Amino acid sequence: MNPKDRLIQSEQRFEGGYGRTVFETLWFAYRPHRAGLILLSVCGFIGRGFLLANANVVGVWVDSLCQGPQCRSLPAYFQGWNSSQFMSLLIAMVALGFVLTWFFRVGFSGISAKAVSALHDETTYRTSRYPIQFFDQTPVGRVVTRFSSDYGNVFRLFGGPLAEFTSIVFDLLWMMGLVTLASPLYLPLLLMMAGINWGVYRRNRDKLRGARRDLSASRSPSIAHFSETTQGASTIRSFVKQKSFAGRFENLDRYYLGQKLRTTKAVINFALQMKVRY
């Protein structure tokens, strides 16, 4: 039978990477706020630079206290600086870096909340305009999952975690630049570490994607069964089928919990591989 002719279609398991529509959805959500995002990203990048450059300033400060032919020469800008000036510079850098980083994190999270809210409103609007055939072919559990757990995951991703990920990218860029500036011989080691990280990620990428997709697909059947059971509770009691429906729900829920455990194990295994590589 053609899958399109079935009254209710089963869950599908997708393979491969993220489709183009995912990035188009992100662009749709963030497009109205692109000017604010650019300003916040610049502030966040500068703020992280102020915080991370403290180590380099402390190194110059220490070099200024060194006496003897083996000491490194100071940059022209710091010639003649005393300890009070270095201390004032460090305090100013920490304060300004903290303010800019706080402005970036709070502003980015606020824009992300607006973006994901607009995405939810647009999804709700378009779903409500679908023909009745869509709801006949789509299990109610799948619809509920998209508007509950999946939306919650997107909301959490768009907020603090995405800002945290962007901050980590800024930190990596600044650390590579500052470390290379302090000691160029350290750059090959950084590149080697980056290659190891990329290799560990590529090794676990497909497994993690498959586990998360299986978890998402295993959630909706139990929700759909529970919804259908509550709607037909009187009929189920009339035919004395309570145990049958309760048993099926327990099996579906047990399968979902098992898949959740397998997904958690995959994530923990990936985290351990990233930590023990050194």
The structure tokens listed for 100 are 């800019």
| pLDDT reported for residue 150 | 62
Most confident of the following: 32-36, 97-101, 139-143: 97-101
Contact between 250 and 221 under an 8 Å Cβ cutoff? The reply is: no
| pLDDT reported for residue 1 | 43
| Mean pLDDT along residues 207-230 | 80
Confidence of residue 242 (pLDDT cuts 50, 70, 90): confident
Sequence spans of domains, the chain: 1-182, 185-278
pLDDT at 95 over 90: yes
pLDDT at 42 over 90: yes
Confidence of residue 86 (pLDDT cuts 50, 70, 90): confident
Confidence of residue 128 (pLDDT cuts 50, 70, 90): confident
pLDDT at 68 over 80: no
| Mean pLDDT along residues 96-119 | 87
Question: Mean pLDDT score of the chain, rounded to an integer?
Answer: 79
Between 51 and 156, the more confident residue is 51
pLDDT at 4 over 70: no
Contact between 163 and 109 under an 8 Å Cβ cutoff? The reply is: yes
| pLDDT reported for residue 276 | 62
pLDDT tens by residue, 161-211: 777 888 888 988 888 888 887 778 888 887 888 888 888 888 888 888 888
Query: What value does the CA radius of gyration of the chain take, rounded to a whole number of Å?
Result: 27
**In this structure, CATH architecture of domain 1-182:** Up-down Bundle (1.20)
